[in-house]
Structure 1
Amino acid sequence: MPTGNPEGRKQPPDERRLGPVLRRRDQVQKSTTDQRLLDERAPADWVHTDPWRVLRIQSEFIEGFGTLAELPPAISVFGSARTAEGTPEYETGVRLGRGLAEAGFAVITGGGPGVMEAANKGALEAGGLSVGLGIELPFEQGLNPYVDIGLNFRYFFVRKLMFVKYAQGFVVLPGGLGTLDELFEALTLVQTQKVTRFPIVLFGTAYWGGLVDWLANTLVAEGKAAKADLSLFHLTDDVEEAVALMSKEAGR
């Protein structure tokens, strides 16, 4: 019977379902996924598309969950990567890492230099578990040598989840925009009760005092936050107090 196709080839359908996706008319793809996979002449641009990125994101979650699932109770420590070794701030990071390890916590940092390195160093020297969660950046940073377990992530949001999911609390030393980002994300998660029983300590009254004053005198005073939100964190200059707050509020 005449088909209007003298070569006997099937015409592309006007509608095609690919799992949950429905394509019609000129949005129907002329080739299948298998064809594009097996055709060596096919362009490689598809590996940079969003569906492929989803697989990369998925793989980062799997690696993170698989690697960190059996961590002992842990505390995430944040602070500046620019803090120089040998400075009082660096030595505070070392003492804090050591104190947390002696209290039975693993120490999780961003894995970089500065305060992160200091906290990892203190934990390692005290015989504790030292963890570094790095991030791919335009400038090479790498994981510091005091990390026992290290993961490097492509995506900030995957890394952020690991900091919270596998920690019982945050200690935030003086730092820059990245430190502020982690601090306010943690405060938001506690405020909205996405996480519970999660102590947050700001270490360094001189450094954080101005921010705390602004929160009280501007944010709360103008009704943008509740006065009770100021109790979501503790402010201290004492390493032993910071460790004690972590142990008490984390239920240890």
Structure 2
Amino acid sequence: MQTMPAHAAHHDDREIETIEEFDATVSARGTLAGHRVQGVDLTDRTRELLATDTAGAVFLGCPMRENAAAKVRADGALVFPPVPDLPFDPYRGLLYSPDELFASLADGGYEATPDARSYAWFQRTRADRDIFASTLRAVHDDSVSDALDELLVGAQVVGVMGGHAMARGTEAYDDAARLGRSLARSGLTVATGGGPGAMEAANLGAYAAPHDGEMLTEALRLLAKAPTFTPSITAWASAAFEVRTRWPEGGTSVGIPTWFYGHEPPNPFASHIAKYFANATREDGLLARCDHGVVFLPGAAGTVQEIFDNATPNYYESRGEPTPMVLVDRVHWTERLPTWPLLRSLARDRSMESRIALVDRIEDAPEALERLRG
């Protein structure tokens, strides 16, 4: 089973994203010249800043005392100060955790959480067409993409896509959770759209991977008390945190949700959450990073879009070797939403047939994926 650090080492070793990295760099190198310090609180590092060369450095959203800020500016560093009264940090250096996005859930309900407040800010500023707000969103999303790339260095990523309407307590949800567990136990990093339904089930399965089989069975029973995120996101999320509290130290996986669909909360079982404001950036980034294949569970318009978003670069060979694609539920993809015939026709035109498969059952997906990967 593959594990992931909070973030991977940087290729050029110039980015500093934690106070521990800051201290280690100052101690080992004695200089911050040319470094990028991202979202680190430096209010207690005034002595180090005053004594260290910071020529050409960039400080992104790093709180610091005024005398330290004046000194680093005099050195020739660029200082982008924190933006007050924002419910998110646009310069963040690491991905979100469930605890961070759902902070204050127990005290004030979902409406009090940073996730809900960020969505409310997005709704308000999007309507205002404020150029400063759109710039903050763009900077935030680029920071998230950078953190996601660093996290996934060396990871073998497999995507699990599917509809948000898949309810806890159903056979389909249970099967999707077992799929996520199977993929994680085979050494793959599970990545989903990060929302409820099939996405949550796959992240739950990856979370359950280090535990014994009874853990997942019992977790599914507990979650069924709050089948969907409507009418109460608070109850839905609280049930998930009950599972996380009872079985801590779950396996790692990635969720990539968006505030564009802010009525859908992120699920708390993805250990690393790359949440975006721009849905187009999120969709393309999610699929592009699934280099070891994608499993498509039954879904509606969003899942159909993801199928062809993934098929398009395969068709034009813009990723080199086509990414394996497994569609689950023959009836769904040939009769209810006849996506498979069109996908197969495209595949014939570009010799993609050896990289796509249609299976009847979720439990058949891991074997089909392994076969397509060769």
> After TM superposition, is the score higher than 0.5?
yes
Paired AA for residue 323 in structure 2: F
Structure 1 residue 65 corresponds to structure 2 residue 188: no
Partner of 2:370: 247
Partner of 1:176: 300
Partner of 2:205: 122
* Structure 1 unmatched runs, 5+: 1-43
Aligned-residue offset at 1:240: 4.4
Instruction: Name the SS of the counterpart of 2:313 in structure 1.
Output: helix
Aligned-residue offset at 1:233: 1.9
Partner of 1:17: none
Aligned-residue offset at 1:160: 2.2
Aligned-residue offset at 1:103: 1.3
Instruction: Name the SS of the counterpart of 2:256 in structure 1.
Output: strand
* Structure 2 unmatched runs, 5+: 1-128, 211-250
Paired AA for residue 199 in structure 1: P
Higher alpha-carbon deviation: 241-250 or 112-121 = 241-250
Equivalent of 2:316 in 179, 192, 203: 192
Higher Cα Rg: structure 1 or 2?
1
Instruction: Name the SS of the counterpart of 2:181 in structure 1.
Output: helix
Structure 1 residue 208 corresponds to structure 2 residue 333: yes
Determine which structure has the larger strand proportion and give its number: 1
Structure 1 residue 90 corresponds to structure 2 residue 184: no
Pairing of 1:156-175 with structure 2 (within 5 A): 156-167=279-290, 168-175=292-299
How far, CA to CA, are the matches of 1:158 and 1:192 in structure 2?
20
Aligned-residue offset at 1:248: 3.7
How far, CA to CA, are the matches of 1:189 and 1:245 in structure 2?
21
Change (3 A) 1:126 1:69: closer
Q: For residues 151-193 of structure 1, give each alpha carbon's deviation from its aligned partner in whole angstroms, at most 9, with x where no partner exists.
A: 1101123212332332211100001111111111111111111
How far, CA to CA, are the matches of 2:318 and 2:355 in structure 1?
13
Structure 1 residue 110 corresponds to structure 2 residue 235: no
Paired AA for residue 192 in structure 1: Y
How far, CA to CA, are the matches of 1:101 and 1:54 in structure 2?
32
Q: For residues 211-237 of structure 1, give each alpha carbon's deviation from its aligned partner in whole angstroms, at most 9, with x where no partner exists.
A: 156528xx94xx9x7385555520002
Q: Is the 8 A contact 1:191 1:232 kept in 2?
A: no
Change (3 A) 1:54 1:250: same
How far, CA to CA, are the matches of 1:245 and 1:94 in structure 2?
17
Paired AA for residue 74 in structure 1: V
CA RMSD of superposed structures (Å): 3.0
How far, CA to CA, are the matches of 1:250 and 1:213 in structure 2?
19
Structure 1 residue 132 corresponds to structure 2 residue 255: yes
